[in-house]
C-alpha cells in the first residue's frame, strides 16, 4: 500500500510535533498513532533533552498502545512519524504488535544530513526498520515533506553549534 494523499495530514502533524520539540529545545522528531478508522489515538515528540536518551516518540507510542489497545487494535493501527524508527523503537513497535509505519525521512537520509552537519555518530546504528522488524509494512520517504524535516534538523544542530 502506497502513501495516500489522505494520509498527508497525519504526516504534517508529525512535522508540527517535531517543530514543537525543537522549540522546546529537543531534537525534532514527532509521531502520531492512528487507529483503523483514521482517528488520532496518541501523539508525542522527542523528549531526550530531559536527559533520558530513550524518550523517542515512537517508543512512547508503542508503550501507550500496549497499555490502551487490544492486540487487534494495535495490529490495525498505523504509526506516522517524521523520521524512520531507530532500532530501539522498531523493536518496541514489533514487540507490542503495532501495524504499518509511514515515515517522512528515512534513517539513511537522516544519517546523511547529520554527517554533513558534522554531528558525531549515534551510539546505535541507523538500520532500516525492516532489518529489525521484518514483518512490519513500512512506507517512506515522503518527498512532499522531506525538505521541511531536513530544515528542522539543520536548525537544531546549528543552534547547538
Ligand atoms: Zn527511536
Report residue 91 as a C-alpha cell. Answer: 523493536
Mean pLDDT value across the chain: 96
Helix boundaries (H) for 24-141: 57-68, 71-76, 87-95, 107-116, 129-132
Alpha carbons 70 and 16: distance in angstroms, whole number: 28
Alpha carbons 117 and 22: distance in angstroms, whole number: 17
Rg (CA), the chain: 15
Question: CATH 3.40.140.10: does it fit domain 5-122+153-159?
Answer: yes
Beta strands in the chain (DSSP E): 30-34, 40-45, 78-83, 101-105, 138-139
pLDDT of res. 1: 58
Those residues whose C-beta lies under 8 Å from the C-beta of residue 161, and which sit 6 or more positions away, are none
Q: How far is the CA of 121 from the centre of ligand 1 (A)?
A: 15
Q: How far is the CA of 117 from the centre of ligand 1 (A)?
A: 20
Q: How far is the CA of 70 from the centre of ligand 1 (A)?
A: 23
Q: For 87-129, how does the pLDDT look when each residue is reduced to its tens digit (9 = 90+)?
A: 999 999 999 999 999 999 999 999 999 999 999 999 999 999 9
Do 150 and 19 meet the contact criterion of CB atoms below 8 Å apart?
no
Q: How far is the CA of 89 from the centre of ligand 1 (A)?
A: 4
pLDDT tier at 23 (50, 70, 90 boundaries)? very high
At residue 160, does pLDDT exceed 80?
Answer: no
Q: How far is the CA of 131 from the centre of ligand 1 (A)?
A: 14
At residue 80, does pLDDT exceed 70?
Answer: yes
Q: How far is the CA of 133 from the centre of ligand 1 (A)?
A: 13
Residue spans of the domains in the chain: they are 5-122+153-159
Q: How far is the CA of 36 from the centre of ligand 1 (A)?
A: 23
At residue 2, does pLDDT exceed 90?
Answer: no
Amino acid at each position: 500500500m502506497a502513501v495516500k494523499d489522505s494520509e498527508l495530514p497525519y504526516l504534517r502533524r508529525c512535522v508540527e510535533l517535531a517543530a514543537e520539540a525543537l522549540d522546546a529545545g529537543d531534537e525534532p522528531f514527532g509521531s502520531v498513532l492512528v487507529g483503523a478508522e483514521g482517528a488520532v489515538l496518541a501523539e508525542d515528540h522527542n523528549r531526550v533533552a530531559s536527559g533520558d536518551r530513550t524518550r523517542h516518540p515512537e517508543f512512547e507510542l508503542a508503550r501507550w498502545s500496549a497499555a490502551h489497545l487490544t492486540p487487534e487494535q494495535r495490529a490495525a493501527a498505523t504509526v506516522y512519524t517524521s523520521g524512520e524508527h531507530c532500532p530501539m523503537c522498531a523493536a518496541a513497535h514489533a514487540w507490542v504488535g503495532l501495524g504499518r509505519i509511514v515515515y517522512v525521512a528515512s534513517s539513511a537520509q537522516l544519517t546523511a544530513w547529520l554527517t554533513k552537519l558534522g554531528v558525531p555518530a549515534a551510539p546505535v546504528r541507523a538500520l532500516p526498520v525492516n532489518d529489525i522488524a521484518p514483518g512490519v509494512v513500512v512506507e517512506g520517504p515522503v518527498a512532499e515533506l522531506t525538505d521541511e524535516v531536513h530544515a528542522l534538523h539543520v536548525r537544531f544542530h546549528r543552534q547547538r553549534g
